[in-house]
Chains A and B, each alone.
Chain A
Amino acid sequence: MVGIILVGLVVSFQSVGPSLRRSDGSLSPRDSAFHVLNRLAYGPRPGEADSVVRFGVMRWVDQQLDPRRIHNPVLAERERQFRLLDMSRDDLARVYLEAQRARQERLRIDSVARANPEVADKTPEALRAQRMAGEFQELAVVRAALSERQLEEVMVDFWTNHFNIFFGKGADRFLAPSYIERTIRPNALGKFEDLLIATAESPAMLFYLDNAESVAPGSVPPAAARLQARTQFGIPPRRRLFLDPERMMRADSLRQRALQRLPKGLNENYARELMELHTLGVDAGYTQQDVINVARIFTGWSLERPEQGAGFVFNEWAHDYGEKIVLGATFPEGHGRDEGLRLLKLLAREHATMHHVSRQLCARFVADDPPDGCVDDAVAAWHRSGGDIREVLRAIFHGPDFWAPPNVDAKLKTPLEFVVSAVRAIAADPDTSPRLAQVVARLGEPLYQHVAPDGYPEREEDWVNSGALLARMNAAVALASGKLPGVTINLDTIAPASADPDRLVAAIDDKIFAGHLSPHTKQVIRDQLADVRDPEQARILAVGLALGGPEFQKQ
């Protein structure tokens, strides 16, 4: 409860917004509960602000920081319906490879499919792969909506964007689910260093940022060395007699092409984004030579072939064993995979990394342009705790900036936050079909589909535009009217159907907005309901307008 007392002291002299705050400018317990539910969670469920007040706001915050202590039976039950979670990476690889094979086969034998490639995507195998993809995206929305461990879900979304991968790129179609389950989720509230190493070794990242293809110049894989060693036409002279020459030349040109496709040198892609996005930040002063040397250090970090499960592998043959210097630190010659780990630990402990990542966390939880004090507190906690994300977050949530009135209700919801908070606000219950993920996509944030490595943006101006706002209004009305198949809604949790505008508006303000709805919004909704006689229609319209209106876009 120290936090709450502190809050009262710090914010009491700040400016006061209308209707939102107590007359002395501090947040009431109910305002505080509403605020933490908006930032540490995906918004309150009906009446949840009051239950958090009863539980104790800071006690709730500390509980969220320790998710393993939170009982989560509803989500556990729902997760059982996702077949995706029962599948290993091998299973998923098989689904994907079978879909690919079926497509090629259809294209080969079916002239209709050749003229119209969409037909080739309709094989049973392809449809199964698409179903898995849909489940994968929906699972993120369902977890965000139903989990009691809300902060954990928020952090999973944060790291998924920080360490972005792109689901549409080749093998990442089947590597992405295990990336989320095994790389991101277990480390979401752990040590940053562990998370960084996990992403560096993850097949999804190795493939996405091309490090799997990066080899020391001049190195040759053992299999290719054998290919190259073969004499003309690639087969022992003794057997050549029995084969027709055309076939032999064809085999030779195939082999040539196979050799051509082999990696022949460095690829800087991962090295650059590792420093620019994952750790130091673009202005940390590293050079092009640093990028090249980091790429050299990670030569050999690759993955097995899809048929073998596509797991992480360190190819000694591909590694550059020479000496490298990165950010002034010498990596002596003769080292293998260990120097990559040493580099990752070095990067994780750089001050620039702490500052860069802390600033992003403050931008997520406090304000698009976070105050320096917030970032400094987070960095100090990072130093103190050796990069324990939980402690960095605790420092942010206990700091004065998090509670400062100008930062309350000031952040715009991303499409994911908007959809999930609307689902929670009306206690809707989604199944495993990808409806909600499709809505999130239509609003501009198709999950796991951000092509560039910087992940989805966090700033208001990135998400607010005329088309996107109209799309949000449409989504709000569709959701409130129960028109989204696969999503069961329960408006009774807010108010019984009624043609009484005053009752409806009061219930919405109380249950969804914890009393934060502006007088103007209340008046407009009341006016709109004046001539609606049907109680059910009146309730739908009122809820739809509230969720599509301006106040619900903010958190």
Chain B
Amino acid sequence: MTISRRVFVKSGGLALFSLGLDPLFLARAAYAADYPAIQRSDHPTLVCLFQRGAVDGLNMIVPHGDGLYYRERPRIAIPAKDVVDLNGYFGLHPSLAALKPLWDNKSLAAVHAIGSPDSTRSHFDAQDYMESGTPGVKATADGWLNRYCQHDREHQNTPFRAVAFGPQLPRVLAGSAPSLAIDDLQAFGLRAPQEAVRDRLTRAFEALYEGSATGLLASSSQEGFEAMQMLKQVNPGQYQPANGADYPRGRLGRSLLQIAQLIKAKLGVQIAFADVSGWDTHVNQGASEGQLAARLKELGDGLAAFARDLGEQMRDVVVLTMSEFGRTIRENGNSGTDHGHATAMLVLGGTVNGGQVLGKWPGLDPDKRFEGRDVAVTTDFRDLFGEILARHLGAGDLAPVFPGYTPDPTKFLGAIRG
């Protein structure tokens, strides 16, 4: 079987669908009526950034209008004069200043006091729950983004439908639906000095894996060979960002640049995912400057460059940041913060109801805190994720995506324009 034919066969998601192999087909038709009619862009794309290590939501989206914030954080609070004010009460960390124009043009929203109903303060459990989409249930084998791909087959099924940037496929994309892990777009594929040698190696390895591999080895290698074939036409080495967009150096900037490149190449990217690490600020996290400020600067500048680079095409894109939990309201003994509960997330893009801090704010009063010390969770992360899947990507049925919890449209925050 040749590569091109296989791509054709695999991209026949619609064919599978119309053959009725998807048992959810009928269920979806029934559910569709429950969701408000929305105007969907032609090729909606969701970009997820996972801030691993638990970002300090209070220093990212700063409640500078609350005196308690300053009393609890004498060494690490962001001075009011430095905060980029958003609505008189909340403001951006000064390192995120590059995002202010996106707030002003209503394509950026923040969600505060969001998190998991599970109370764990373990990074690994909390990340696991946020990626499996099943807080408190460890046995869930696949990730919620993968389950979305499994159950929403109307999208053109190219190998690039779901792409993670990094050497490993994240838990959120693990599962039976094909997804691609790309560490570096330019280096993706088999290396050989001459094209003839490259083609020969490709054919040989493809034949080896096609016949001798089973399970994950078989499916992953097949996806890899298909993606290689499609990437041949894109020529990743030649990419120039548009509109003078200047991505920050480092891993995040490179990932965002390559995501923009894939979106523009029209390879059918629907979901892109990248990790941003370095948020576990137990010691000397800094205030307006310092450790956390440097990480936020990279994040803010990266997102701003991404939006600038995509320009008009941002109308089809939503970027969502997420993190496993927030950090303690009170600073710890080392001018840092320990593991907390709720955090803040950013939603950016053309279909976003921007210019607002969404979610019910519980405040910092000691009696409103979770276990007496952390920001309480008022928005279950699945309500935000579900809203974006339904209203931005057009997911028909969220029940299989979040088993045991069906996000209720009446609880949607309104992050995406209806």
Is B211 a contact partner of A520 (Cβ separation < 8 A)? yes
**Nearest residue in B to A415 (C-beta to C-beta)?**
B167
Which of B212-220, B297-305, B350-358 lies at the binding interface? B212-220
- Asked whether any CB of chain A lies closer than 8 Å to the CB of B228, the reply is yes
- Asked whether any CB of chain B lies closer than 8 Å to the CB of A452, the reply is yes
Which of B122, B168, B212, B223 contacts A549 (CB under 8 A)? B212
Which of A265, A468, A478 contacts B167 (CB under 8 A)? A468
- Asked whether any CB of chain A lies closer than 8 Å to the CB of B71, the reply is no
- Asked whether any CB of chain A lies closer than 8 Å to the CB of B278, the reply is yes
Which of A282, A467, A473 contacts B124 (CB under 8 A)? A282
- Asked whether any CB of chain A lies closer than 8 Å to the CB of B277, the reply is yes
| B222 CB, min distance to chain A CBs, angstroms | 8
Q: Per-residue CB proximity of A517-533 to B under 8 Å, as 1/0?
A: 01011001101100000
Which of B180, B189, B228, B277 contacts A465 (CB under 8 A)? B180
Which of B7-15, B330-338, B394-402 lies at the binding interface? B330-338
B residues less than 8 Å from A266 (CB atoms): 332-333
Is B221 a contact partner of A545 (Cβ separation < 8 A)? no
Q: Per-residue CB proximity of A358-376 to B under 8 Å, as 1/0?
A: 0000000000000000000
Is B221 a contact partner of A466 (Cβ separation < 8 A)? yes
Given contacts A452-B53, A452-B123, contact A267 B336 (CB under 8 A): yes
Which of B101-109, B199-207, B361-369 lies at the binding interface? B199-207
Is A267 a contact partner of B205 (Cβ separation < 8 A)? no
- Asked whether any CB of chain B lies closer than 8 Å to the CB of A276, the reply is yes
B residues less than 8 Å from A263 (CB atoms): 333-334
In the bound complex, CA of A460 to CA of B101 (Å): 44
A residues less than 8 Å from B192 (CB atoms): 477
Is A467 a contact partner of B224 (Cβ separation < 8 A)? yes
- Asked whether any CB of chain A lies closer than 8 Å to the CB of B188, the reply is yes
Is B174 a contact partner of A210 (Cβ separation < 8 A)? no
In the bound complex, CA of A45 to CA of B189 (Å): 29
B residues less than 8 Å from A551 (CB atoms): 212
70-108 of chain B: CB within 8 A of chain A:
75
Q: How many residues of B contact A (CB 8 A)?
A: 60
Q: Per-residue CB proximity of A478-495 to B under 8 Å, as 1/0?
A: 100000000000000000
- Asked whether any CB of chain A lies closer than 8 Å to the CB of B155, the reply is no
In the bound complex, CA of A528 to CA of B199 (Å): 12
In the bound complex, CA of A92 to CA of B174 (Å): 41
Which of B75, B204, B220 contacts A466 (CB under 8 A)? B220
Is A260 a contact partner of B207 (Cβ separation < 8 A)? no
- Asked whether any CB of chain B lies closer than 8 Å to the CB of A330, the reply is no
Which of A212-220, A331-339, A346-354 lies at the binding interface? A212-220
Is A470 a contact partner of B190 (Cβ separation < 8 A)? yes
B residues less than 8 Å from A550 (CB atoms): 208-209, 212-214, 217-218, 221
**Chain A interface secondary structure, helix, strand, loop or mixed?**
helix
Which of A412, A462, A466, A524 contacts B180 (CB under 8 A)? A466
| B98 CB, min distance to chain A CBs, angstroms | 20
Given contacts A444-B167, A551-B212, contact A467 B180 (CB under 8 A): yes
Given contacts A470-B188, A470-B190, A545-B204, contact A444 B332 (CB under 8 A): no
| B368 CB, min distance to chain A CBs, angstroms | 18
B residues less than 8 Å from A549 (CB atoms): 205, 208-209, 212
In the bound complex, CA of A520 to CA of B216 (Å): 18
Given contacts A263-B333, A521-B211, A545-B205, contact A469 B338 (CB under 8 A): no
- Asked whether any CB of chain B lies closer than 8 Å to the CB of A127, the reply is no
- Asked whether any CB of chain B lies closer than 8 Å to the CB of A461, the reply is yes
Given contacts A465-B168, A473-B205, A524-B211, contact A265 B75 (CB under 8 A): no
Which of B168, B201, B284 contacts A462 (CB under 8 A)? B168
A residues less than 8 Å from B169 (CB atoms): 461, 464-465
Is B211 a contact partner of A443 (Cβ separation < 8 A)? no
A residues less than 8 Å from B319 (CB atoms): none
**Nearest residue in A to B224 (C-beta to C-beta)?**
A466
Is A268 a contact partner of B338 (Cβ separation < 8 A)? yes
B residues less than 8 Å from A473 (CB atoms): 190, 201, 205
B residues less than 8 Å from A461 (CB atoms): 169, 174, 216
A residues less than 8 Å from B205 (CB atoms): 473, 545, 548-549
In the bound complex, CA of A430 to CA of B187 (Å): 25
- Asked whether any CB of chain A lies closer than 8 Å to the CB of B282, the reply is yes
In the bound complex, CA of A389 to CA of B207 (Å): 43
Interface residues on A, range: 35 or more
Which of B179, B335, B371 contacts A260 (CB under 8 A)? B335
- Asked whether any CB of chain B lies closer than 8 Å to the CB of A272, the reply is yes
Is A474 a contact partner of B333 (Cβ separation < 8 A)? no
Q: Per-residue CB proximity of A251-292 to B under 8 Å, as 1/0?
A: 000000000110111111100100010000010000010010
In the bound complex, CA of A268 to CA of B123 (Å): 13
**Nearest residue in B to A209 (C-beta to C-beta)?**
B282
| A157 CB, min distance to chain B CBs, angstroms | 18
B residues less than 8 Å from A478 (CB atoms): 191
In the bound complex, CA of A269 to CA of B122 (Å): 10
| A219 CB, min distance to chain B CBs, angstroms | 9
In the bound complex, CA of A164 to CA of B204 (Å): 39
A residues less than 8 Å from B220 (CB atoms): 464-466, 468-469
In the bound complex, CA of A215 to CA of B332 (Å): 10
* Centre residue among A291, A549, A553 by max chain B CB count within 10 A: A549
Q: Per-residue CB proximity of A281-308 to B under 8 Å, as 1/0?
A: 0100000100100000000000000000
- Asked whether any CB of chain B lies closer than 8 Å to the CB of A316, the reply is no
Q: Per-residue CB proximity of A441-468 to B under 8 Å, as 1/0?
A: 0111000000110100000111111111
Is B189 a contact partner of A520 (Cβ separation < 8 A)? no
Is B333 a contact partner of A215 (Cβ separation < 8 A)? yes
**Nearest residue in A to B209 (C-beta to C-beta)?**
A550
In the bound complex, CA of A442 to CA of B188 (Å): 12
- Asked whether any CB of chain B lies closer than 8 Å to the CB of A471, the reply is yes
Which of B167, B218, B224, B228 contacts A443 (CB under 8 A)? B167
* Centre residue among A412, A464, A551 by max chain B CB count within 10 A: A464
120-136 of chain B: CB within 8 A of chain A:
120-125
Sample of 10 further A-B pairs with CB below 8 A, known A443-B167, A551-B212 = A265-B332, A265-B333, A276-B122, A465-B179, A470-B228, A477-B190, A525-B208, A545-B208, A550-B209, A550-B212
Closest CB pairs A-B (n = 6): A265-B333, A466-B224, A444-B167, A465-B181, A550-B213, A520-B211
Residues of B within 8 A of A (CB): 52-53, 75, 120-125, 159, 164, 167-169, 174, 179-183, 187-192, 200-201, 204-205, 207-209, 211-214, 216-218, 220-221, 223-224, 227-228, 277-278, 280, 282-284, 332-336, 338-339, 371
11 inter-chain pairs at a CB distance below 8 angstroms, sorted by A residue, are A260-B335, A261-B335, A451-B52, A451-B278, A461-B174, A469-B217, A469-B224, A520-B212, A524-B207, A528-B200, A554-B217
